[in-house]
Amino acid sequence: MLTEQTKITTMHLIERKVSNSMKIIEDGLPHTAALDGIYDDTRPNWWTSGFWPGILWNLYDQTGNEKFKKNALSASKKIANAFKENQDKFDHDVGFQFLLTAVYHYEITGDEESMKMGIEAANFLAGRYNPVGKFIKSWDREAGWVIIDCLMNLSLLFWATGVTGDPRYKHIAVLHADTFLKYGVREDGSTCHILSFDAEAGDFIEAIGGQGYSPDSSWSRGNAWAIYGFANMYRFTGDEKYLLASKKVAHQFIASLPEDYIPYWDHRAESIESEPRDSSAAAITASGLLEIAEHVHQNEKYIYQNAATKIIKSLSDNYSTWDKPEHQAILVKGTGHRPKGNFVNASLIYGDYFFVEAISKLNGYNKKIF
């Protein structure tokens, strides 16, 4: 378990690391860093663009340090301006992008323009809903494809209902979550990455492996999205089926972990011990497990808190860059897209974000963005 002093110390290490990295990154929009530790600067419409400003808003809210706010605001405006100029370049991941920028800004400061930007993004996401198939369309290249990642974007719709009083947003979120729960979560608690539907008739066609090893494998980051996403659905709705789904996937995830508690990129890849780990899946899962722990009976809390803290401790002890001041990322050994060979054994900005979020939760920070 992490002691109180360790939690505080880790948060100080994060603040120091981000402060140093921000001298170079400033208001950039990083996605990945190779072994040299130098983050790239991706385009504003890329799905990961919100995670760096999300880290900065988190630290600003906790410290009050204006240097974090300055760069968070500038990076957030880049994404908002790109969205206003060409919405066609964005897709279902506006949740990742605008929860961590416009919504975060509004929740901290009450900024009205940021609230309007968040609602505009929610309208865009709701506009991708297919009422026949009862799902939110993912990428534009396939009208009937739905990916597990989108469970996390549903928080934007619940937020929009909260600030507008219009229940249509949350209705869409519930219908989409129900569809993925029906077709995307297996009895053993594993999940698939992509569901394919007939966009015209709404009929389910097949599961597709996507970034996982195969259609019937267990892609660890996909499971992480499900753990966290369904836990959030329970928080928003109080419907027990979502908590049960989150717990089922969590149990499968925990049971599949190796000794150091950091998952391989797919729990069912062949010759698994020679396969890369995914620190980003670990960080997402840790934060999701802490969400589960808030909603279960007192006698169950230890199961999820214990697994989360073991994951976080292993990330901090074995997968961090505390001793490498020139390294801009916090975590190493993430896996982006193993089947394509993209971003393998790399630092990934979303891994960093969810690590910061999980440590913040352990230190009592209770701002709910996802």
What are the strands, taking DSSP E only, across 6-103?
A: 32-33
**Contact predicate 8/63, CB 8 Å:** no
- 48 by Cβ neighbours in 10 Å (0-12 / 13-18 / 19+) ranks as buried
Question: Residue 41 half-sphere exposure, CB side, CA atoms within 13 Å?
Answer: 10
With tokens 């802490």, the residue in question is 290
Active site residues: 93, 149
- 317 by Cβ neighbours in 10 Å (0-12 / 13-18 / 19+) ranks as exposed
What is the H or E stretch that residue 135 is in? strand 135-136
Buried-state track 57-74, b at ≥16 Cβ within 10 A, e below 16: bbbbbbeeeeebbebbbe
Strands 342-348 and 194-197: unpaired
